[in-house]
Amino acid sequence: MSACGCDGNNLRPVDQAIAELLARAPAPPPVERVALSQALGRVLAEPLHAPFEVPAWDNSAMDGYALRAADLPAAGGCLPLAGRVAAGDAPAQVLPAGHAVRIFTGAPLPPGADSVVMQEQCRLEEGRVWLPPVQGGEHVRQRGEELAAGTQVLSAGQRLRPQELGLLASFGIDRVAVYRRLRVGLLSSGNELREPGETLQPGQIYNSNRYSLAGVLTSLGLEVHDYEIMADELAASRDALSLAASEWDLLITSGGVSVGEEDHLKQAIRELGELHLWRLAIQPGKPLAFGEVGGKPWLGLPGNPAAALITSLVVARPFLLRAQGCLDVLPQPLRLPAGFAWRKANGRRQYLRARLEAQDGQMRVCLHPQQGSAMLTSACWADGLALVEVDQTLEEGDLLDFLPFSALLH
């Protein structure tokens, strides 16, 4: 058993804490093969190489007429028609010299043709077609122009989006190797917590963290098991953590990691495993902690609802994605002008609930007036987080980093 040695006044910088978590991320879960229809959001476990050229043959990019460019006079002219080719057809013959064929988008070019003219530029004249001047190769998708056979197109560690699923389907792949979903045990700590639908007694509140955090974890493609609320007692915390560690890949708790006399989780972690870090230079969310229970990683998020949500997106998300086998885990912020002034420097990096609004023809980052660590209404109003760095002040119009929720909730 060990302690993290971080119970002093020093706060861990956010980027340093994220780097430490990533360095301690466990190996990805086992690999399984799933149907392509079930692979959205999963992490690819092996690289994919193109099994054939794309396109596999020269084909038309337009509805129109295919021809040999050299057969058409420089000023354009008429050519007799020698048939038609639709998508899915195989050309029946070589294009006769001095002829054109009706062709449709995606249809293979008949041997001998090298160009296509879109139908809007052509005119039919009794079995012949008038065509404008054409450049050789015009409106033709050349065989292999997108991909050569054997080209690596996807890497292990990529999360599969709709476009990746479409690419896999285009190669005829119906099952894909992905990492099994990371299985997370989610626990809430607090004697004051009750579930929605129950009657509140004086001093009690509803457990909002259970639903916001489960939503975040599900959006990341993880399997979530939600336990009953843990009582604020050392023995109860020990028992709940031991059980969860025996059943799941990773544990996440909310509440119980501050400095109050009823916050027992850190002590339970020390008795059951290791506490690696505690207290970050972040606002909201300073009490965040990280350690191990029975060899399983544990993330202790703050109990305040907005702080729990923000730290789950900023600090926990990269770690959870890496533990799922994903390589690209850090979101890229947008660099945008502030629609507000911030003149009070802070010793912690601040993640402020904000949204983009048009001001004088320019998109600016605007703040919600309520930034308390317990306030979820501002998170619902916002569409992202504005970053104000340690000891930084801002004037309206200064550039700052903005993290859209759309980049964090997937």
Q: What is the pLDDT of residues 297-310, one digit of tens each?
A: 999 999 999 999 99
> Looking at residue 110, what DSSP letter applies?
P
Q: What is the model's pLDDT at position 259?
A: 59
Q: What is the model's pLDDT at position 262?
A: 53
Instruction: Tell me the pLDDT tens digit for each residue of 212-221.
Output: 999 999 999 9
SS3 breakdown of the chain: % helix, strand, coil, rounded to 5?
20, 30, 45
Q: Give CA–CA dist 371/377, Å, rounded.
A: 10
**Does an H or E element contain 177, and which?**
strand 175-179
Instruction: Tell me the pLDDT tens digit for each residue of 65-75.
Output: 999 999 999 99
Q: What is the model's pLDDT at position 93?
A: 84
Q: What is the model's pLDDT at position 230?
A: 86
Give the confidence band of 264 by pLDDT, cuts at 50, 70, 90. confident
Answer yes or no: is pLDDT of 3 > 50.
no
List Cβ neighbours of 276 (8 Å cut-off, separation of 6 or more).
4, 20, 24, 290, 291, 292
Tell me how far CA of residue 347 lies from CA of 11, 46, 124, 232, 344, in angstroms: 9, 43, 76, 31, 10
Answer yes or no: is pLDDT of 5 > 70.
no
Q: Are strands 362-367 and 349-359 parallel, antiparallel or unpaired?
A: antiparallel
Answer yes or no: is pLDDT of 58 > 70.
yes
State the CB neighbour count (10 A cutoff) for residue 258. Answer: 18
End-to-end CA gap in the chain:
35
Cα radius of gyration (the chain): 30
Q: Give CA–CA dist 108/86, Å, rounded.
A: 8
Site of tokens 């023995």: 235
Q: What is the model's pLDDT at position 9?
A: 58
Q: What is the arithmetic mean of pLDDT over 123-151?
A: 94
Domains of the chain: 14-29+181-323 (3.40.980.10), 33-54+146-179 (3.90.105.10), 59-141 (2.170.190.11), 334-408 (2.40.340.10)
Instruction: Tell me the pLDDT tens digit for each residue of 174-223.
Output: 999 999 999 999 999 888 999 999 999 999 999 999 999 999 999 999 99
Burial pattern 70-98, b for ≥16 Cβ within 10 A else e, equals: ebbeeeeebbeebbebeeeeebeeebeee
Contact 44, 177 (CB under 8 A): yes
DSSP letters for 44-91: B-S-EE-SS-BSSS-EESSSEEEE-GGGS-TT-EEEEEEEEE-TT---
Comparing 84-93, 177-186, 245-254, which segment has the lowest mean pLDDT?
84-93
Q: What is the model's pLDDT at position 217?
A: 97
Residue 335, both tokens: 């660099």
Give the confidence band of 263 by pLDDT, cuts at 50, 70, 90. low
In the predicted model, what is the mean pLDDT of the chain?
93
Site of tokens 């449709």: 104
Site of tokens 């879109």: 118
Contact 60, 106 (CB under 8 A): yes
State the CB neighbour count (10 A cutoff) for residue 194. Answer: 16
Q: What is the model's pLDDT at position 2?
A: 41
Q: What is the model's pLDDT at position 125?
A: 87
Answer yes or no: is pLDDT of 4 > 50.
no
Residue % of the chain over a pLDDT of 70: 96
With the C-alpha atoms ordered 117, 120, 123, 124, is the resulting torsion angle positive or negative? positive
User: Backbone dihedral region of 331: left (phi > 0), alpha (psi from -120 to 50 degrees) or beta?
Assistant: beta
Q: What is the model's pLDDT at position 232?
A: 84
Q: Give CA–CA dist 193/319, Å, rounded.
A: 27
Q: What is the arithmetic mean of pLDDT over 252-270?
A: 78
Q: Give CA–CA dist 194/190, Å, rounded.
A: 9
Q: What is the model's pLDDT at position 7?
A: 41
Residue % of the chain over a pLDDT of 90: 87
